[in-house]
Every structure is written in structure tokens, then in C-alpha cells.
Amino acid sequence: MALFTKSIQFKKEKKDGIRICIMRRPGDFEDFDIWMPVLAPSHKLLNDSHSKKINWLQYKNRFKKEVILNKREYLNVLIDIALKKDVTILCWEKTPVKCHRRLVAEACQKINPQLNTLIK
């Protein structure tokens, strides 16, 4: 079993397994099985990022405080599911370079190094 990452803009595939949306504001057209907005950046962080008030490093540091450190129990739930079934976490960005799904996946991998993680 594994934890994958993917943009919700890409086509759903059987190999995705359980599709968990970690976006704050998914649209009605998105296709996912579970919505975990607790693993999304806050509205304030999103707004600061979209309005260019902060750069990527600032975003990453704030996201780590907001979610990675303060929502650890939800990361543990995600890990528990991914150890039993294939899971794909979804958000909007097409690539994981500057994307919170990568930060979530990396945190899960750090918490449990035995978790098979594929970031794309």
C-alpha cells in the first residue's frame, strides 16, 4: 500500500485508490472520496499566498506550523489509511514543486519512514 499525490485537475485512475482531497475550497466538479480540509492551508494563508504577500518559503513555514505541527493526529489518520489501502492526496497545483500536498506527503513519510510515498 502507498501514499500518492496528484493534482485534482488530472483524470481519475483506478490506481489512485482512495482519493482524499486536501483542498480548502474544492469545486463541485472535483472527484474525490474523502475531503480533509483540516490538511489544507487556512484561508488567510491561501489569501496571503495568492495575493503575493508572502513567498514560497514563508508559505511553507506557515503551513508547517498550521498543519504539519498542529494537525499531527490527522496526518496519523492519513498514514494509517495508506498503510492499509492505496491513497492519493489531491490538491489543485499541477506539479508538487510549490504545493502543500508535497509538504503533507513528506511529513507523513518522515513520521513513518516505512510508508511507501510517491510524490507527483
Q: Walk across the sheet containing 2-7 and list its strands.
A: 34-35, 18-21, 87-91, 2-7, 116-118
Give the model's pLDDT for residue 28. Answer: 82
What number is the average pLDDT over the span 36-57? 96
Residue type for position 58: Q
Q: How many helices (H) and strands (E) does the chain have?
A: 4, 5
C-alpha cell of residue 14: 483506478
User: pTM of the prediction?
Assistant: 0.94
Res. 25: pLDDT tops 90: no
Q: Beta strand 34-35 with 87-91: parallel, antiparallel or unpaired?
A: unpaired
CA atoms of 20 and 33, how far apart (whole Å): 6
Res. 30: pLDDT tops 90: no
Q: Could you list the residue range(s) of the whole structural domain that residue 99 is in?
A: 2-118
Total domain count, the chain: 1
